[in-house]
Amino acid sequence: MESEHHLVNSEHHIMKSEHHIVNSEHPIMKSEHHIVNSEHHIMESGHHIVNSEHHIMERGHHIANSEHHIMESEHHIMNSEHHIMNSEHHIMESEHHIMNSEHHIMNSGHHIMNSEHHIMKSEHHIMESEHHIMESKHHIMNSEHHIMDSEHHIMESEHHLVNSEWASYNGE
């Protein structure tokens, strides 16, 4: 009977010890569950961090694209301003050519006026020369007329001389 009682006591102790072991293992399991949960939260946080970094990178990429577009727009503006400056330079050159052409036209008009004035003077000189020629011809005609008159007087004088000689010869 005593042996059986010891056996029962021993079994009871073993059961109690097993119960303690199970009770001890229960907090360990709970702690392990908390560890697993914590690791899950850490993984989720890591995933959120990766996602956030990805969004930051995307935003950085958008910023870089925007800056690139701004630079391109500024380059287009500079090109447009350069074209405007070139166009203004061409306009100035064209205006300068127009002014030069107008100056040449004015000079040509002045030369034409001078040439016409010279032509008028030359025509006046020609008319004067023709008038002098006519006067000279008139003088020549007058001189020829005087020569003819003189020759006529000479002939008359010779005739009178012949008559006088003839009269003296005849004793008249």
Domain that holds residue 19: 1-65
Distance in angstroms (rounded) separating the CA atoms of residues 172 and 163:
11
pTM confidence score: 0.47
Considering the domain boundaries, does residue 11 fall inside one?
A: yes
- The pLDDT of residue 167 is 86
Q: Is the pLDDT assigned to residue 166 strictly greater than 80? A: yes
Question: Which residues, 6 or more positions from 100, have their beta carbon under 8 angstroms from its beta carbon?
Answer: none
Considering the domain boundaries, does residue 166 fall inside one?
A: no
Burial of 151 (0-12, 13-18, 19+ CB in 10 A): exposed
Q: Is the pLDDT assigned to residue 150 strictly greater than 70? A: yes
Percentage, residues of the chain above pLDDT 70: 99
Considering the domain boundaries, does residue 54 fall inside one?
A: yes
DSSP-assigned letter for residue 69: H
- The pLDDT of residue 3 is 87
Percentage, residues of the chain above pLDDT 90: 85
Considering the domain boundaries, does residue 47 fall inside one?
A: yes
Q: Which of 9-18, 65-74, 108-117, 145-154 has the lowest mean pLDDT?
A: 9-18
Q: Which of 19-28, 37-46, 49-58 has the lowest mean pLDDT?
A: 19-28
pLDDT in tens, 90-141: 999 999 999 999 999 999 999 999 999 999 999 999 999 999 999 999 999 9
The domain tally of the chain equals: 1
pLDDT band for 172, please (50, 70, 90 cuts): low
Considering the domain boundaries, does residue 37 fall inside one?
A: yes
- The pLDDT of residue 170 is 83
Considering the domain boundaries, does residue 60 fall inside one?
A: yes
Considering the domain boundaries, does residue 46 fall inside one?
A: yes
Considering the domain boundaries, does residue 12 fall inside one?
A: yes
- Mean pLDDT of the region 9-29: 91
- The pLDDT of residue 165 is 87
Task: State the maximum Cα–Cα separation within the chain, in Å, rounded to a whole number.
Answer: 249
